[in-house]
Structure 1
């Protein structure tokens, strides 16, 4: 019995020591893993996967303000560069939350990247994550902010544009009352009153049309439309004014040109271009309308022989209420919305509109639309 005990005792001690060593190694490994995570080598479980899946910009920052992980959106917005936050405003927010421990949400306007001119409007939330890290999440509200600015500008412009004819109508109504015993004055004031009311009606109609076009991103009830029919309808609408000003409208091409879309909107777009060409052309001149098919695209070109548009204004002619010659535009009845309507109507059909001009030699506007039957398209219409 004693001899058996002498044999088993060293074996038992060996097993015990081995078990203790295994436990110590496991504890050391666990502590080492925790220390490594706290030192910044490993993110808390699941954080990296969440950041990769986020559509918003998200960044995890360690105690030395080094970016440990950034979502794809944060990188594409230019918020992170060389493992650091680019913008001082973001770094200040992170430092503040690290000091107070309280989460913060605020709106910031930041440049896109270190050298970008484009402004981002962000809703930024900063809070602690884990024991030592800071999580920064930025939601991009740039587009909604831009649309809100556009809405405010549009309302301001509308108020300004409506104010003039409304005031004029009020003054003319008072003048009519005071000149009731003078037939010639009454006739003159009545003519002016009619002109101002027609102008007010045009502005209101164009505002409604433009608002409707901007509210719908695309044409929902498209059908096959013959471009020659569109051009013919636009010419008919402007023929009386053209004849009164001794302006010849010449239309060519379009016999085999078809597009998918809303015929009424397309007629309105071409009508606006033809109307502008007629109103700004000198008497005795010609307005040309050409249609051709080129590599699956239908081009509708309207050319006049007017005064042309200065190069500095050419990029702005499609802006709402922009007028190259404000006084002349008002005298010819322009609302400043016609080219904006053209732009949005064409864009809603998946096309674009381009302008070319040579001061003193006239202007050319070209609508480009996807052809309905590209297999039959050729270089000539």
Structure 2
């Protein structure tokens, strides 16, 4: 009898302890659920962000990252749950304070160790009453292409002024020397030379304008690089002979590249012409070609004064995959470099 009572009390104790433990566990689970409950965006916001097509970051009232797209991490805008750049935090602070929509363009470091920069167009606005949305669009390629195009137009304008101005002066000289047969022949010869130079520049512009409306890489075909070099050198023989400059070609490749042969010839000829124009008489201009690790490298060298390291580093900055040494001259990169930097990045040829 006594043993039964004791056993009953022990069982009752275990039952009470189990009930208490269950209730404590439930209370802790509720606390955990409340503590780690995922922030809720306004209705429909997540669906819209999923198809917006831009990098996005959603931050809360203390600038903690609530949601961020993979592109935002790839651009280096977010690391973990933190917005990296002070410029973006300044935008969120102003939007939160003034309730306005801001849009700015920034050039930001892509990584923590200075691994290049990225140019982004950022738009910041309130998302509901609690959150702020940052939309970022990568404008790096567009901005740099625009800079190249502006440089290109400036160089073309400069190159066109020379023959146009010369023809105008020669026409005035012809009019003033109408009775001098020898002067007329001399001025007419000079006019013919300048008009030929102007025609060549105009033809180059016409060929380069094809880049504006077509993707050369998609419309290209296999091109023999050796044939491109041979044709470019042949077109440059006359100005070379006038200065007694020898054009020497070195190397040979069997592989072909994918691109537009006419445009490649035009770009390479411009570089060779630059090398000839700014080289002393009785010197040599070298054109070299080699293939390595699936890439074909073309180099143009001369015996001119050369460019400073700072100026040389800016030449053809958009031309990836080409080994091109800028021709030596006291100025900076001109028509040859500008036209080549427009041509090379548009093709699959390397």
Note the alpha carbon deviations across 1:231-275, whole angstroms, 9 max, x for none: 443343334444454444455664855444433334334444544
Distance 1:251 1:183, change over 3 A: same
**Corresponding residue for residue 138 of structure 2:** 140
Distance 1:232 1:156, change over 3 A: closer
TM alignment of 1:327-366, pairs within 5 A:
336-352=334-350
Distance 1:287 1:157, change over 3 A: closer
Check whether the contact 2:257–2:349 (CA below 8 A) recurs between aligned residues: no
Alignment partners' CA distance in 1, 2:243 and 2:58: 70
**Correspondent of 1:109 among 106, 110, 113:** 106
TM alignment of 1:292-307, pairs within 5 A:
292-300=290-298, 304=302, 306-307=303-304
**Corresponding residue for residue 265 of structure 1:** 263
Distance 1:340 1:175, change over 3 A: same
Alignment partners' CA distance in 1, 2:285 and 2:252: 17
Distance 1:62 1:161, change over 3 A: same
> Which SS does the other structure have where 1:219 is aligned?
helix
Structure-2-length-normalised TM-score: 0.66
- Alpha-carbon shift at residue 311 of structure 1 (Å): 4.6
Alignment partners' CA distance in 1, 2:345 and 2:260: 12
Distance 1:254 1:243, change over 3 A: same
**Corresponding residue for residue 22 of structure 2:** none
**Corresponding residue for residue 39 of structure 2:** 42
- Alpha-carbon shift at residue 298 of structure 1 (Å): 4.4
Alignment partners' CA distance in 2, 1:132 and 1:264: 59
**Corresponding residue for residue 12 of structure 2:** none
TM-align CA RMSD: 4.5
Alignment partners' CA distance in 2, 1:325 and 1:104: 50
Distance 1:289 1:63, change over 3 A: closer
> Which SS does the other structure have where 1:170 is aligned?
helix
- Alpha-carbon shift at residue 58 of structure 1 (Å): 2.0
- Alpha-carbon shift at residue 124 of structure 1 (Å): 0.7
In structure 2, the gaps of 5 or more residues are 1-25, 319-325
**Corresponding residue for residue 18 of structure 1:** none
TM alignment of 1:1-381, pairs within 5 A:
41-44=38-41, 55-81=53-79, 83-100=81-98, 102-112=99-109, 118=117, 120-129=119-128, 131-213=129-211, 216-251=214-249, 254=252, 256-280=254-278, 282-287=280-285, 289=287, 292-300=290-298, 304=302, 306-307=303-304, 309-312=306-309, 313-318=311-316, 324-325=328-329, 336-352=334-350
Query: How many residues in Structure 1 have an aligned counterpart in Structure 2?
Result: 314
Alignment partners' CA distance in 2, 1:219 and 1:342: 15
Alignment partners' CA distance in 1, 2:210 and 2:143: 20
- Alpha-carbon shift at residue 59 of structure 1 (Å): 2.1
- Alpha-carbon shift at residue 126 of structure 1 (Å): 0.8
Check whether the contact 2:72–2:78 (CA below 8 A) recurs between aligned residues: yes
In terms of mean alpha carbon deviation, does 106-115 or 169-178 score higher? Answer: 106-115
Distance 1:216 1:324, change over 3 A: farther
- Alpha-carbon shift at residue 338 of structure 1 (Å): 2.4
- Alpha-carbon shift at residue 185 of structure 1 (Å): 4.0
